Structure 1
Amino acid sequence: MKTILKIIGGLVLLFGIYAIIALLVFDNTYHYEKSVVINAPKEKIWQQMNTMKGFNQWNPWMKLDKNMKLEYSGTSGEVGDKYCWDSKNDDAGAGCQEIKALVPNEKQTTEMTFKRPFAGQAMSDIVLTSEGNATKVTWSMDTEQETWMKIMKPMMDYQMGKSYGEGLENLKKLVE
């Protein structure tokens, strides 16, 4: 029994040390990005990302709730194109995503406003770069995070890696 208590105590101590280091070292801004090279021209990929409806064809979070309520507004393919989602499932939550800037065949910038399960705001870019006959697609997100969330950075990186990886693979399958 003493051995188990020592192990638990050691783990608690290690987590405490990690938490203090994370709070001191990690910044309040959070940035994540992931890239994939797709064997298709920029123009073909652009058709799948220049509207919110097109984006949702490969958006990895759409699969979290088949009954998610979606509402689109604004002019499709223009700044202001927006969709809001509402799910009973806390994994999907509720919020809105709106196109804030478009550079045809090069870059889409969106703003995400999260309502549930946590309130928050983030900016996201999808950038297309020619690589010979292929295109490098880089998807990024930037947000401010509360101080206590710094402790969660490794878990956030892992989760974002899975989600962005899945989304980029969905996009790749759609256009290749």
Structure 2
Amino acid sequence: MRFFKLIVLSVVVFALFVFLLSLVFPSTAVVERTGVIHAPLDSVYAQVNNLKAWEQWNPWSRPDTTAQLVYSQQAEGAGASYSWHGQLNSGKVMITDSRKDKGVHYQMDIANMRPVKGGIELKPTADGQGTAIFWHMEIKLGMLPWWKLRGFISDRIYGPAMDAGLTKLSRICERQ
């Protein structure tokens, strides 16, 4: 009986330690990537403003390959959205703000995940020949320890996919 009490006490102390440790971590995770695309701003903006074009470069445009994408009537600009329902998950992406001089901001909701606010900001490069791009995602994690611990490694989880997406976007825009 004493051994059982020791195990229960150890589990409680460990859980308390994990919870207290999670209080040190921020309740928001931010993942950012930047780059330069050697194409005019108009060309890059056309790709990031059109949700149907996202299938070609965005790593999360089709997170479940069995899913069918359903687009809203409007596929470009603020208010445009698409949703998917597949075997693995379902979700929705909506462009919340879109301006050529600022870029595109969006909200992404995936079942059983925390909501993501993201943005793809665009500026012409200093020489005017290319486009500087800044892609960022913000995930509100809340106070639960397992979400906060996941947020601690979110850059390692999402960063490589964002890098791959920027590389694909660059190839598409530079070919045009």
* Range into which the TM-score falls when normalised by the shorter chain: 0.7 to 0.9
Which residue pairs with 2:10 in the alignment?
none
Aligned CA distance change for structure 1 residues 51 and 62 (closer, same or farther; 3 Å):
closer
2:114 to 105, 117, 120: 120
Give the RMSD, CA atoms, in angstroms.
2.3
Q: Give % identity.
A: 26
Residue equivalent to 1:6:
none
In the TM superposition, what are the counterparts of 1:1-176 in structure 2 within 5 Å?
19=18, 22-62=21-61, 64-89=63-88, 93-115=89-111, 118-131=112-125, 132=127, 133-147=129-143, 148=145, 149-176=147-174
Could you list the structure 1 runs, at least 4 aligned residues long, displaced by more than 4 angstroms after superposition. Answer: 18-22
Change (3 A) 1:22 1:47: farther
Q: Deviations over 1:64-93 (max 9, x none)?
A: 54332110013121321100012213xxx2
Instruction: Identify the residue that residue 7 of structure 1 maps to in structure 2.
Output: none
TM-score by length of 2: 0.79
- Secondary structure of the equivalent of 1:55? helix
Unmatched tracts of structure 2, length 5 or more: 1-13
Secondary structure in 2 aligned to 1:47? helix
**In the aligned structure 2, how far is the partner of 1:101 from the partner of 1:138?**
15
2:65 corresponds to which letter in structure 1?
K
Aligned to 1:74, the other structure's residue is in SS state: coil
Rg larger in structure: 2
CA contact (8 A) 2:49 2:98 kept: yes
Count of residues in correspondence between the two structures: 157
Unaligned runs of 5+ in 1: 1-14
SS of the residue corresponding to residue 88 of structure 1 reads coil
